[in-house]
């Protein structure tokens, strides 16, 4: 059986090509074991690693990172508590748990972690889990945003911008803009918009749609004509390719 040095050389040769293709990530490890090598395989990878004590007070001034790892090898209860603090305070990066094999049975969905990794995992596996966790989050964030014709709509935060300028929208104004933008160029009658945006149980008249469209156009400013009027039919979201070009005039 090869000794420790031989195993390290073996793994180093396996991941040499992989690490060249991997974007270097900023990793933050939260651990109560000072000076210990929490995840030995990280030493064979090129990611930048910072380590701070696994204490809630340390999170206030914690350095920025692409991914956070919590050391749960020795104190599962403390690690679970720390994970819950991170998730309830709105952690913006993926959260990975470092475990011994015996600790796997203690982990459940209410920990709020994105993935787990054993402290004995090889560098290729560790690197893959890091890349996948960061990649999944990037895809989720991208999927929650609608970008079209100079408008960016973030469904996750219920916010919108026009040409980089934040829009101060009411809930229904946001919902109306989001619905129209996700169905570009399609014409909707006022009755359809009432049903889709206000709901089937809304008893107000179609005048409500006109009022909200007028207010939304006012907030869009120079791009007010993104919300086009099709006479005697309804409204649509006009699309144009060049965000710096003049918006098209609505159909008459």
Mean pLDDT of 201-210: 80
Angle at 118 between CA 117 and CA 123, to 5 degrees: 75
* pTM to 2 decimal places: 0.53
CATH code of the region 145-237:
1.10.10.10
Percentage with pLDDT > 70 across the chain: 81
pLDDT value for 143:
59
Q: What is the CATH number of domain 4-143?
A: 3.40.50.2300
Q: What's the whole-number average pLDDT of the chain?
A: 84
DSSP bridge partners of 31: 53
Distance CA 192, CA 186 (A): 12
How far apart CA 236 and CA 12 sit, in angstroms, is 57
User: With bands split at pLDDT 50, 70 and 90, how would you rate the model's confidence at 56?
Assistant: confident
**Residue 221 binned pLDDT confidence (cut-offs 50, 70, 90):** very high
Mean local confidence (pLDDT), 220-244? 86
Specify the pLDDT at position 249.
Answer: 44
**pLDDT of the residue at 14:** 44
Tokens found for residue 53: 């004590």
What residue ranges of the chain are covered by domains with CATH 1.10.10.10?
A: 145-237
Question: Residue 22: pLDDT above 70?
Answer: no
Partner residues linked to 195 by β-bridges: none
Q: What is the pLDDT of residue 247?
A: 45
- Report helix, strand or coil for 198: helix
State yes or no: pLDDT of 28 exceeds 70. Answer: yes
- Calculate mean pLDDT across residues 215-231: 94
Which residues make Cβ contacts (< 8 Å) with residue 244, sequence separation at least 6?
none
Round to whole Å and give the CA distance between 252 and 246.
18
Contact indicator for 153, 173 with CB cutoff of 8 Å: no
DSSP state, 223? G
Are the beta carbons of 92 and 137 closer than 8 angstroms?
Answer: no
pLDDT score at 144 = 65
What CA–CA distance (Å, rounded) separates 8 from 43? Answer: 10
Say how many CA atoms lie within 13 Å of 166 toward its Cβ. Answer: 5
Q: What is the mean pLDDT of residues 53-68?
A: 86
């Amino acid at each position: 059986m090869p000794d420790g040095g031989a195993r390290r050389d073996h793994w180093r040769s396996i991941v040499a090509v992989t690490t060249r293709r991997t974007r270097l990530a900023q990793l933050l490890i939260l651990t109560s074991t000072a000076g210990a090598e929490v995840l030995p395989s990280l030493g064979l990878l090129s990611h930048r690693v910072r380590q701070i004590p696994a204490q809630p007070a340390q999170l206030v001034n914690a350095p920025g990172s692409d991914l956070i790892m919590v050391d749960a090898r020795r104190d599962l209860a403390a690690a679970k508590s720390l994970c819950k603090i991170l998730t309830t305070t709105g952690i913006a990066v993926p959260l990975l748990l470092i475990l011994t094999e015996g600790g796997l049975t203690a982990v459940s969905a209410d920990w709020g972690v994105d993935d787990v990794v054993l402290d004995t995992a090889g560098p290729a596996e560790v690197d893959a889990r890091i890349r996948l966790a960061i990649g999944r989050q990037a895809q989720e964030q991208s999927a929650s945003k609608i970008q079209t014709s100079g408008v960016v709509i973030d469904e996750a935060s219920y916010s919108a911008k026009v040409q980089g300028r934040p829009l101060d929208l009411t809930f229904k104004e946001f919902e109306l803009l989001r619905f129209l933008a996700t169905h570009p160029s399609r014409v909707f009658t006022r009755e359809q918009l009432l049903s889709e945006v206000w709901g089937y149980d809304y008893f107000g008249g179609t005048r409500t749609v006109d009022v909200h469209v007028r207010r939304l156009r006012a907030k869009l400013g120079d791009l007010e004509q993104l919300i086009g009027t099709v006479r005697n039919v309804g409204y649509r979201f006009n699309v144009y390719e060049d965000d710096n070009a003049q918006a098209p005039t609505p159909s008459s």
